[in-house]
Amino acid sequence: MIISMRSDSSDADILRVEEKLAAMDMQTHVSRGVKRTVIGVIGEDNGTTDHSILETLDGVEQVIPVTKPYKIVSRESHTENSVVNVSGVEIGGKTIQVIAGPCSVETQLQMDTAAEQVFAAGCRLMRGGAFKPRTNPYSFQGHGVKGLDMLRQGASRLRLPVVTELMDVRMLDTFLERGVDLIQIGTRNMQNFDLLKELGSIQTPVILKRGMSARITEWLMAAEYIAAGGNHNIIFCERGIRTYEDAYRNMLDVTAIAMLKKETHLPVIVDPSHAGGKAWMVPALSRAAVAAGADGLLIEMHPSPADAWCDADQALTPEQLAALMVELNGIAESLGRSV
């Protein structure tokens, strides 16, 4: 880090800062300018030093960290793209993976039908929510464990790995027993640190959705919680952020895709369904995501959107999903990838 001293700081102030850093096992290099003194700190901490302590010292103007607070997930620590293997399906490689399926698991027939349609469209992974984080406590909350079984049963016939949301750490063992292939952490839990720590102790891949108002650094730090525990199978999912605009559900932050691909070696996928919140927007947002470098998409599709119990207006029909897959392949090919 670099410590910039105020122009009116005294030699005694500078000495006190040096002593404080020495006590913290850090070496210093003092550069005295005509107007201002700058202290370079060598033996940079591992992100655990509370910089605000240094800012309380007399004469200190600003403490500027020069290393990133996130380590394992950063591209600095691993320059090559990481590929996450989800029960044999690779995310983060040349193939852009489209995960599709209903917002919520409703009936066995719905799941069986949806699995066939997801498979027929060419998708290699299936989604379905058994535990639903609903804004309204009186809305359908999902079938819970019964829903996990319905999802598993529908997807297994087509050998599709399943993606489903974990909200409560007490359900983790059940998820593992049921063989959930990819655990989704939703926007509302991105900074549920106890949940993230538990996910660090397993090896099941995790989709970490962006908190609806989360900054990029906060998102990376949340992933670092999982990685620090030993689970490096993390996939970021941009799902739109809350802004002043209310013409659509959320604003898809395409910029975040480019930013994340620079900052982390881990795969980045996009959920265009919860971003736009309308089925008609999904193709445009999906095209933008693939063009911007996303490694995958998480798309809501329902066998009959008009009958969906949850997020009916943003679900694609099976036909729309199949058509979108063809269209996305064209964009992917122009980038040397495929869908």
Sites of contact with ligand PEP (CB under 6 A): 103, 129, 133, 165, 186-187, 209, 239, 271, 274
Nearest to 206 by CA among 166, 252, 256: 166
Q: Give the residue ranges of DSSP H helices in 28-144.
A: 51-55, 108-121
Tell me how far apart the alpha carbons of residues 303 and 78 are, in angstroms, rounded to a whole number.
41
**Nearer of residues 270 and 325 to ligand PEP, judged by Cβ:** 270
As measured in angstroms, the least distance from the Cβ of 251 to Mn ion is: 17
Q: How far is CA 34 from the centre of its chain?
A: 47
Residue 220's binding partner out of Mn ion, ligand PEP, none, with CB under 5 to 8 Å set by partner kind: none
Question: Which residues, in sequence order, are CB contacts of 180 under 8 Å at separation 6+?
Answer: 148, 162, 163, 164, 166, 204
As measured in angstroms, the least distance from the Cβ of 129 to ligand PEP is: 5
**Nearer of residues 18 and 295 to ligand PEP, judged by Cβ:** 295
* Count of alpha carbons within 13 angstroms of residue 48, beta-carbon side: 5
Burial of residue 259 (CB within 10 Å: 0-12, 13-18, 19+) is middle
Tell me how far apart the alpha carbons of residues 216 and 190 are, in angstroms, rounded to a whole number.
12
Residue 187's binding partner out of Mn ion, ligand PEP, none, with CB under 5 to 8 Å set by partner kind: ligand PEP
DSSP string, 245-265: --SSSSB--HHHHHHHHHHBS
Collapsing DSSP to helix, strand or coil, 274 comes out as helix
Nearest to 159 by CA among 101, 119, 204, 111: 119
Nearest to 318 by CA among 107, 111, 114: 114
**Nearer of residues 295 and 311 to Mn ion, judged by Cβ:** 311
* Single-letter code of the amino acid located at 239: R
- Using CB under 5 A as the binding criterion, the count of chain residues that bind Mn ion stands at 2
**Residue 255 has which token pair?**
């910029």
**Residue 26 has which token pair?**
């850090």
Residue 249's binding partner out of Mn ion, ligand PEP, none, with CB under 5 to 8 Å set by partner kind: none
**Nearer of residues 181 and 271 to ligand PEP, judged by Cβ:** 271
Of residues 117, 311, 321, 325, which one binds Mn ion by CB under 5 A?
311
Collapsing DSSP to helix, strand or coil, 55 comes out as helix
Q: Which residue is nearest to Mn ion (CB)?
A: 103
226 binds Mn ion per the rule CB under 5 A: no
The residues in 78-117 that bind Mn ion, with binding defined as CB under 5 A, are 103
Residue 181's binding partner out of Mn ion, ligand PEP, none, with CB under 5 to 8 Å set by partner kind: none
Which of the ranges 25-33, 39-47, 74-82, 309-317 carries the binding residues for Mn ion, by CB under 5 A?
309-317
As measured in angstroms, the least distance from the Cβ of 274 to ligand PEP is: 4
**Nearer of residues 129 and 303 to ligand PEP, judged by Cβ:** 129
As measured in angstroms, the least distance from the Cβ of 231 to ligand PEP is: 20
Residue 186's binding partner out of ligand PEP, Mn ion, none, with CB under 5 to 8 Å set by partner kind: ligand PEP
Q: Which residue is nearest to ligand PEP (CB)?
A: 186
As measured in angstroms, the least distance from the Cβ of 126 to Mn ion is: 14
**Nearer of residues 80 and 245 to ligand PEP, judged by Cβ:** 245
* Dihedral angle sign, alpha carbons of residues 19, 23, 24, 26: positive
- Interface residues with Mn ion (CB under 5 A) are 103, 311
